[in-house]
Chain A
Amino acid sequence: MTATIERKPSKRRASAPRGPRESLVSRTMAMAVMGIASLYFLVPLWWLFVSATKTRSDFTTTAPLWFADFALFDNIGALFAYRDGVFLRWLGNSALYAGAGALIATLLAAMAGYAMAKYTFRGRELLFNIVLGGVLVPATALALPLFLLFSQIEATNTFWSVFLPSLVSPFGVYLSRIFAAASVPDELIEAARIDGAGEVRTFFTVGTRLMAPALVTIFLFQFVAIWNNFFLPLIMLRDEELFPVTLGLFVWNSQVSQIPDIRALVIVGALLSIIPLIIAFLSLQRFWQSGLANGGLK
Chain B
Amino acid sequence: MSHKKAIAVFIVPFGVLFTVFYVVPIGYAIYQSLFVLERDGTFGAARQVFGGLSQYIAVFQNAAYWESIGRVLLFGVVQVPIMLGLALLLALLLDSPLVRGSKYFRLLFFAPYAVPSVIAAIMWGFLYSPNLSPFSAVTGSIDFLSASSVLWSIANVVTWVYVGYNMLIIYSALLAIPQEIYEAARLDGASQARIAWSIKIPLVVPALVLTGIFSIIGTLQLLAEPQVFQSFTSAVTSTFTPNLTIYSTASVPNISLAAAMSVVLAIATFILSFTVLKLTQRRTAS
Q: Whole-angstrom distance from the CB of B166 to the nearest CB of chain A? A: 12
B14 and A48 within 8 A (CB): no
When distances are taken between beta carbons in the complex, the residues of chain B under 8 Å from A31 are 98-100
B119 and A230 within 8 A (CB): no
Q: Which A residues between 35 and 74 are near B, CB-CB below 8 angstroms? A: 37-38, 40-45, 47-48, 51, 60, 63-65
Complex Cα–Cα for A253 and B230 (A)? 10
When distances are taken between beta carbons in the complex, the residues of chain A under 8 Å from B17 are 108, 164, 167-168
Given A12-B179, A20-B189, A45-B112, check contact A144 B246 (CB 8 Å): yes
When distances are taken between beta carbons in the complex, the residues of chain A under 8 Å from B176 are 293-294, 297
User: Looking at the complex, which one of B11, B111, B116 makes contact with A227 (CB distance below 8 Å)?
Assistant: B116
Complex Cα–Cα for A205 and B118 (A)? 40
B14 and A108 within 8 A (CB): yes
User: Looking at the complex, which one of A121, A136, A145 makes contact with B269 (CB distance below 8 Å)?
Assistant: A136
Is B131's CB within 8 Å of the partner chain A? yes
Is A83's CB within 8 Å of the partner chain B? no
B187 and A17 within 8 A (CB): yes
Is B22's CB within 8 Å of the partner chain A? yes
Q: Which A residues between 218 and 266 are near B, CB-CB below 8 angstroms? A: 224, 227-228, 230-231, 234-235, 246-247, 249-250, 253-254, 256-257, 266
Q: Whole-angstrom distance from the CB of B163 to the nearest CB of chain A? A: 8
When distances are taken between beta carbons in the complex, the residues of chain B under 8 Å from A116 are 11
The 8 A CB mask of A265-298 against B (1 = contact, 0 = none) is 0110010011001101110010001001110110
B6 and A198 within 8 A (CB): yes
B90 and A47 within 8 A (CB): no
The interface-forming segment of B65-73, B140-148, B254-262 is B254-262
Given A16-B183, A60-B132, A145-B25, check contact A136 B270 (CB 8 Å): yes
Is A102's CB within 8 Å of the partner chain B? no
Is B252's CB within 8 Å of the partner chain A? no
Complex Cα–Cα for A293 and B247 (A)? 38
When distances are taken between beta carbons in the complex, the residues of chain B under 8 Å from A119 are 3, 6-7
Which of A18, A119, A144, A249 is packed against the most chain B CB atoms within 10 Å?
A144
Is A211's CB within 8 Å of the partner chain B? no
Complex Cα–Cα for A202 and B192 (A)? 47
Complex Cα–Cα for A30 and B4 (A)? 56
Which of B126, B193, B265 is packed against the most chain A CB atoms within 10 Å?
B126
When distances are taken between beta carbons in the complex, the residues of chain A under 8 Å from B3 are 119, 199
User: Looking at the complex, which one of A112, A145, A246, A249 makes contact with B14 (CB distance below 8 Å)?
Assistant: A112
Closest residue on chain A to residue B176 by CB atoms: A293
A230 and B93 within 8 A (CB): no
A137 and B172 within 8 A (CB): no
Is B28's CB within 8 Å of the partner chain A? yes
Given A22-B97, A60-B132, A144-B250, check contact A173 B14 (CB 8 Å): yes
Complex Cα–Cα for A58 and B191 (A)? 52
Is A109's CB within 8 Å of the partner chain B? yes
A44 and B210 within 8 A (CB): no
A231 and B243 within 8 A (CB): yes
Complex Cα–Cα for A147 and B183 (A)? 57
Q: Which A residues between 68 and 87 are near B, CB-CB below 8 angstroms? A: none
Closest residue on chain A to residue B118 by CB atoms: A246
The interface-forming segment of B36-44, B53-61, B216-224, B278-286 is B216-224
B25 and A142 within 8 A (CB): yes
Q: Whole-angstrom distance from the CB of A48 to the nearest CB of chain B? A: 6
Q: Whole-angstrom distance from the CB of A236 to the nearest CB of chain B? A: 12
Given A31-B100, A38-B105, A249-B122, check contact A45 B111 (CB 8 Å): yes
Residue ranges of B at the interface with A (Cβ–Cβ < 8 Å): 3-7, 9-11, 13-15, 17-18, 21-26, 28-29, 32, 86, 89-90, 93, 96-100, 105, 107-119, 122-127, 131-134, 160, 163-164, 168-169, 172-173, 175-176, 179, 182-183, 185-187, 189-193, 206-207, 210, 213, 217-218, 220-221, 223-224, 227-228, 230-231, 243, 246-247, 250, 255, 258-259, 262, 265-266, 269-270, 273
Residue ranges of A at the interface with B (Cβ–Cβ < 8 Å): 7, 12-13, 15-20, 22, 26-27, 30-31, 33-34, 37-38, 40-45, 47-48, 51, 60, 63-65, 108-109, 111-112, 114-116, 119, 121, 127, 130-131, 134, 136-142, 144-149, 164-165, 167-168, 170, 173, 198-200, 203, 224, 227-228, 230-231, 234-235, 246-247, 249-250, 253-254, 256-257, 266-267, 270, 273-274, 277-278, 280-282, 285, 289, 292-294, 296-297
Given contacts A138-B217, A146-B21, 12 further A-B contacts (CB under 8 A): A30-B98, A37-B86, A44-B127, A111-B14, A112-B13, A119-B3, A141-B262, A144-B250, A200-B9, A270-B122, A273-B119, A297-B210
Question: What are 18 A-B pairs with beta-carbon distances under 8 A?
Answer: A12-B175, A26-B98, A30-B98, A30-B99, A42-B108, A60-B132, A136-B213, A138-B221, A140-B223, A141-B26, A144-B262, A145-B25, A148-B259, A199-B6, A228-B118, A235-B250, A274-B115, A285-B107
| In the A-B complex, the 7 residue pairs with the closest CB atoms | A19-B186, A199-B6, A64-B134, A115-B10, A145-B25, A277-B114, A30-B98
